[in-house]
Amino acid sequence: MGKPEIKLAGIADVRFGEGVKVVGPSNLYGCEIGDGTFIGPFVEIQKSAAVGKRCKVQSHAFICELVTIGDDCFVGHGVMFINDTFSSGGPAGGRKEMWKATKVGNKVSIGSNATILPVSIADGTVIGAGAVVTKNITKPGIYAGNPARLIKDLPK
């Protein structure tokens, strides 16, 4: 019987701002975390991802490569970001040139268990719990459902 290669969760090569709080266990590597941001337990943030200043990333969130989150954002429990759209009919695997980026603006709140495909989300947007964001959001408001759609405008 063979022996598995075991890699433990941990923190490696992360650029932390001032006053960051990380609750372990978490798996953060090659990413950037802005000043005053809170990272809850069981969070994975992959290389080249960036989380802005004064954000809260709750437990069990997954922030993959090519995701940029602005300042003053909230990422709820179990939120999943996706960078592979299976455009070839299956997973891209090691073909990172097929992956796509996600950009979350400032003051965005994403409810628990939402799934965010490679999109751009406007500043001040609220994404409801369980929503699946499949298209760019250019107008701030409250979005919910699968696929996510505008359900309420927000006052300016």
pLDDT in tens, 72-126: 999 999 999 999 888 888 888 778 888 899 999 999 999 999 999 999 999 999 9
Peptide bond into 25 cis (omega under 30): yes
Task: Give exposure, 95-122, as e/b (b: 16+ Cβ within 10 Å).
Answer: eeeebeebbbbbbbbbbbbbbbbbbebb
3-state secondary structure of 97: helix
Is the residue at 123 inside a domain? yes
| CATH number of residue 149's parent domain | 2.160.10.10
Is the residue at 148 inside a domain? yes
Tokens 């628990």 correspond to: 112
How many helices, marked H, and strands, marked E, lie in the chain?
0, 21
Give residue 51's domain range: 11-85+98-153
Is the residue at 41 inside a domain? yes
Measured at the alpha carbon of residue 85, what is the angle toward residues 81 and 86, in degrees to the nearest 5?
135
pLDDT in tens, 11-45: 999 999 999 999 989 999 999 999 999 999 999 99
Is the residue at 5 inside a domain? no
